[in-house]
Structure 1
Amino acid sequence: MAFEYHVSKNGSVSAQGTKQDPFLTINQAASVAVAGDTIIVHEGEYREWVKPKNSGLSEYRRITYQAADGEKVVIKGSERIQDWEQVEGTVWKVGIPNGYFGDYNPYIEEIFGDWVVYNPGRHLGDVYLNGMSFYEAENLEQLQNPEVRTEVLDHWTQTTVAVVNPEQTKYLWFAEVDEKNTTIYANFHEANPNEEVVEINVRKACFYPENIGINYITVRGFELCQAATPWTPPTADQPGLIGPHWSKGWIIEDNIIHDSKCSAISIGKEASTGNNYRTKRKDKPGYQYQLESVFLAKQAGWSKEKIGSHIIRNNTIYDCGQNGVVGHLGCVFSEIYNNHIYNIGIKREFYGHEIGGIKLHAAIDVQIHNNRIHDCSLGTWLDWQTQGTRVSRNLYYRNSRDLFVEVSSGPYLVDHNILTADYALDNHAQGGAYVNNLIRGKMVQRKMLDRATPYHVPHSTEIAGFAVTYGGDDRFLNNIFIGDDNLEKVGTAHFNGYTTSLEEYIETVHQDEGDHEAFNKVEQPVYINRNAYLHGAEAFEREEEKLEATDFNPDLKIIEDGNEVYLSLELPEEIASFFGGIQSTKTLERVRIVDAEFENPDGSEVVLDTDLLGKQREEKSVIGPIASLQAGKNYIKVWG
């Protein structure tokens, strides 16, 4: 028999959990709820790390945690601090006994782990003034002089960036920890911290099981924030502010999630499959430890039957230092959609190779669609074993980069998206199909001949083989490419010299007497046709049917109006009669290395007949992400 438990700020630790006699904490309910039960949390702030104890048993016998209808429920990893002492001018301090933090003191714990590139001693703690997070100073002197700024080189864009936002340079904190106390100093400018709401990070997470295998949990309708989450590379334990911790079948929906020091939602791996061994042991490259983690995961039960198949939908995720959604291995067979993700990795207090609005490794059969992702260091990064993955009908804008696919062999689909960053696409992979996208920005395409990565039996975690990234084996069909006076490498011209069919590729390879060496020398086939190239975008030299209007400036703009977003775009007259047809499993060439077709996760035929707005495509629909695009001026609502 299913029970309904209630939690209220008016409850008690000795309550029965009924509506009339509610629990005081969510963890009280979490300790007794079993499969089929629902936990309803009533209005208020709950400063606790919710640790679900019991597992649901199936999609139909879940344990559901939800905010009461119409009531605002906030779960915080922070505590309010009110005993501040003025030191000098606008700088205040507070002393806190180390025991206050238990065995996890965020002001001792540093940003640490594999692939951290830049960290000048930053910690997992944080200070918030009326909800606004501060920046950690590198020393007390900098705290007294908040205009001091540090500049670093962004490894990927090769540009110099400030690690402190000029608008917030005055809001800094610094901590000193001795054997007994943690002393936090902060520059509050005009504010008196004892008269405002000042909070500090205390807990590692807000909603995250301590044990693995806590399956079929639903978390709905909460605000979750202010957690001291650690750095989450693919070779480490990956705790987030909220997440399933190596489990199956979670639904995380309709939540507002923000101010995680590193990652917000984690659907990633756990510690037994590797935990920052490259950084700790220093005896092997991180690449080698990541390979080992895949095999260790198989030994730990990594399969569709036990892991993944999560749903992340209708959430608003913002102001996090590393990721909005992160996962390695544990993300398989999941669906991420209708989320609004922004302000991820832009404070630049620290950075590394694992930052993005969505950053996934081994995204097998993961479906990422209908998300709005903007103002992120990187919009979506799919790394290793991107297979059966589909990135569809997403809106990307004002990101440093929009989409990055790395060392994967496909098949993966990128269709009906809008990508508008100056640096729109990093393609360090093979076996992709890019169909009906609007891409305004440069594309960087690279081979990776020194890092073989796994590929799988289709729709499975079973490993079928390993391959390096030869480059190519990509399909670019029905896309609109838009250049700019200040941009290079927009379009598909970087594939010049590649073969255009498997037959041509095989014939060319076998002109050489060697074995694997010959495959390194010959460019894989690419399938490029029926694309439009505007405002300086350049076409692949062997593309047979294309629309070129290189002098035409579409004057593309993404316009925000409240929660609504509009696309403003002008198109040339020729676009009205330039059709691409509907692409599907039947029209997309199979992927060479994996020897697999482009399919839906259930193995059925995939048909790309639904545009970004959810409208049905016709055979004679205009190319690009929106079937109703027309010659001349377009002004179309694309979100909200």
Structure 2
Amino acid sequence: MNTRSYANGAPIILPDGTEFPFWQDETEYRRMYYVDQQHPGASDGNSGTEEAPFLTVQRAAEVVEPAEKVLTKSGIYREWVQPRRSGNGVDEMISFEAAPGAEAIIRGSQVLGAKWTNSDVARSVSVWAVDLPEEFFEGDHPFAVVNTTEEDFEIMRWARGERGRIPHTLPRAMVFQNGRRLIQLGSCDELPRVAGAFWIDVAHHKLHLNPFDRTNPNKVIMEATTRQYLFNPQVKGLGYIRIKGLTFEHAGNGFIRSGNGAVTTWGGHHWIIEDNTVRQINAVAIEIGAFTDERSESGDREVLEKRTGGHLVRGNHVSDCGTGGIQGTMVPRSLVANNHIHDCGWQEVQSYLETGGIKILLTLDSVVQCNYIHHCHAAPGIWIDCANRNSRVCRNLLHDIAAANGAIFFEASNAPNQIDHNIIYNVEGGSGIYQRDCNRLLIAHNLI
């Protein structure tokens, strides 16, 4: 299963018989900027050469121009990268890449270095507590905002029955013990009996936890999320950007349908997101939709379709995401292929109807193919949701999917679309392939 055969002359055919509008990076990069936090002379005041590298990826993002590349060397970069500008076309892209052979990790957490003491609230020798900084409970910090706000429920009217329920009412924070994710609980009462769990005392700015293996937290590395996003321009409409070979982890983002991806194109066009690892995310890992804020966005669909999309999302390893792996609201002319997606849905919020290994909607001329998706719980493997046109789901391998909507779910679309040549097995709670409220949907040559 390899979409790269397309480059060897085998086109991807859409349901109407036309070819998918494939493209690729044709840039001859004129300049390289280097980021290397392990270099003794690294500084954001440097010129960004290999001999005088930047300290942060963000500094490189501020200066990089079209036809230039940012190469990040090994290290853990605790930051939110916000690109400032677009590339100019397929021959003048801007690229953010791991340096050859490097393990460059962009991490949205920080180490909790304060001293832990036994909790005086839980009254258990197994439960520890630490005071958190005031800034953890201000603004859009993951400890300060719940997973689904009242504003979010006003947009997602179909999910309003979830109001007041855990985990929607819990903060977006995540906590890790030596890299292992703990479970957030809704009260301190349960904590003594649940190892590997934590509770946030918002009123007193304290974190209480029962570590894995009854470990003293002063003797291990404890980390907590301090950022909702890891790579997000916050400038709408940037295009011709490439992200390759980086690792993104520990994002404390929320459950809103649009504008919540840890790595997101933020309503942009012609991004290549390839060969990255995205893991341990509170909600959605990668987002590629035209919409970023459904509270204020509106407009003609045809206009949005022309100025957004055209993304290539391929070869990524996405895992351990609370609600979804790859998502997007309005996704025209995009290819999602050769991604390995697993262990998504651990937040157990299937009933709010926004979960999935891959969940995209309002697609046009888009293709989801050759992805390997498995062990998703409370989330379908692939969900193509609402008003899709001339799009295709093919040559995917899905197994061990536990979801009410099944492994592949195609919904509410009345134009030609196609599901073909997929292999599906070990599905619990739903069908191998499930369509609802669709017309002119071709389902053929699948092994279930």
**TM-score (norm: length of structure 1):** 0.59
Residue in 2 that maps onto 1:298:
300
Q: Does the Cα contact within 8 Å between 1:93 and 1:186 map onto a contact in 2?
A: yes
Query: In 2 relative to 1, CA 220–353 (structure 1 residues): closer, same or farther, beyond 3 Å?
Result: same
- Give me the whole-angstrom Cα distance separating, in 2, the residues matched to 1:196 and 1:334: 43
2:209 corresponding residue in structure 1: 186
Map of 2:382 onto structure 1: 380
3-state SS in 2 of match to 1:438: coil
CA–CA distance in structure 1, aligned partners of residues 414 and 221 of structure 2 = 50
Report the CA distance between 1:302 and its aligned residue: 0.3
8 A contact 2:61–2:81 mirrored in 1: yes
2:189 maps to which of 141, 165, 178: 141
- 1:40 and 1:185 mapped to 2: Cα distance? 39
TM-score (norm 2): 0.83
Distance in 2 (CA, whole Å) between partners of 1:129 and 1:24 is 26
Indicate how the Cα distance of structure 1 residues 100 and 12 shifts in structure 2: closer, same or farther if over 3 A, else same.
farther
Structure 1 residue aligned with 2:278: 257
User: What does residue 574 of structure 1 align with?
Assistant: none
Runs (5+) with no aligned partner, structure 2: 1-28, 119-123
Question: SS at the partner of 1:109?
Answer: coil
Aligned equivalents of 1:55 and 1:172: distance in 2? 42
Alignment-derived partner of residue 417 in structure 1 = 422
**Structure 1 residue aligned with 2:202:** 177
CA–CA distance in 1 between the matches of 2:302 and 2:107?
32
For 2:184 and 2:228, how far apart are their aligned partners in 1?
18
Which residue does the alignment assign to 1:229? 253
Pick the structure with greater CA Rg: 1
Match of 1:42 in 2: 73
2:207 is aligned with what amino acid? I
Q: How far apart, in 2, do the equivalents of 1:350 and 1:191 lie?
A: 33
SS at match of 1:141: coil
Q: 1:127 aligns with which of 153, 156, 175?
A: 175
Structure 1's 36 and 96: CA in aligned 2 closer, same or farther, altered over 3 A?
A: same
Query: Which residue pairs with 2:61 in the alignment?
Result: 30
Q: Give the number of equivalent residue pairs.
A: 390
Say if 1:208 and 1:239, in contact at 8 Å, map to a contact too: no
Instruction: Determine the structure 2 residue equivalent to 1:470.
Output: none
- The aligned residue for residue 337 of structure 2 is 337
Alpha carbons of structure 1 residues 406 and 55: separation in structure 2 relative to 1, 3 Å: same
Within 1, Cα distance between the matches of 2:417 and 2:280?
32
| Deviation, structure 1 residue 369 | 0.5
C-alpha spacing 1:102/1:122, structure 2 compared with 1 (3 Å): closer
| Corresponding letter in the other structure for 1:324 | G
Aligned residue type for 1:320? C
Deviations, residues 302-337 of structure 1 (Å, cap 9, x unaligned): 033x200101101110101111011011x2111000
Distance change >3 Å, CA 338–CA 104, structure 1 → 2: same
Q: Which of these residues, 141, 144, 149, is aligned with residue 105 of structure 1? A: 141
Give yes or no for contact 1:122–1:349 (8 Å, CA) kept in 2.
Answer: no
2:444 corresponds, among 435, 460, 475, to 435
Aligned to 2:354: 354
The letter for the 2-side match of 1:111 is: N
Letter in 2 for 1:127: V
How far apart are the structure 2 equivalents of 1:183 and 1:132? 20
Q: Could you tell me which residue of structure 2 aligns to residue 315 of structure 1?
A: 316
The whole-number CA distance in structure 1 between the counterparts of 2:356 and 2:397 is 15
CA distance in 2, matches of 1:100, 1:346: 24
Cα–Cα, structure 1 residues 248 and 101, in superposed 2: closer, same or farther, change >3 Å? farther
CA contact (8 A) 2:136 2:143 kept: no
Q: 1:405 aligns with which of 404, 407, 410?
A: 410
CA–CA distance in 2 between the matches of 1:341 and 1:261?
15
CA-based RMSD: 1.9
The aligned runs of 1:473-512 (5 Å cut-off) are: none
Structure 1 equivalent of residue 329 of structure 2: 328
Could you tell me which of 237, 245, 266 is aligned with 2:287? 266
Residue 231 of structure 1 and its aligned partner are, at CA, apart by 1.1
Q: In the alignment, is residue 238 of structure 1 matched against residue 259 of structure 2?
A: yes
Alpha-carbon distance between aligned partners in 1 of 2:386 and 2:302, rounded to the nearest angstrom:
19
Q: What SS is found at the alignment partner of 2:135? A: helix
Equivalent residues in 2 for 1:530-545, closer than 5 Å: none
3-state SS of paired residue (1:208)? coil
User: 1:177 Cα shift?
Assistant: 2.2
Q: Distance in 1 between matches of 2:386 and 2:351?
A: 20
**Counterparts of 1:338 and 1:355, CA distance in 2:** 20
Q: d(CA) in 2 for partners of 1:17 and 1:40?
A: 10
| 1:300 to partner: Cα distance | 9.9
Give the distance between the partners of 2:113 and 2:135, measured in 1 at CA: 18
* Distance (whole Å) between structure 1 residues aligned to residue 445 and residue 270 of structure 2: 31
How far apart are the structure 2 equivalents of 1:323 and 1:29? 29
Q: Secondary structure at the match of 2:239?
A: coil
CA distance in 1, matches of 2:184, 2:176: 11
Give the aligned residue type for 1:415: D
1:171 CA drift (Å): 1.2
Question: 1:521 maps to which residue?
Answer: none
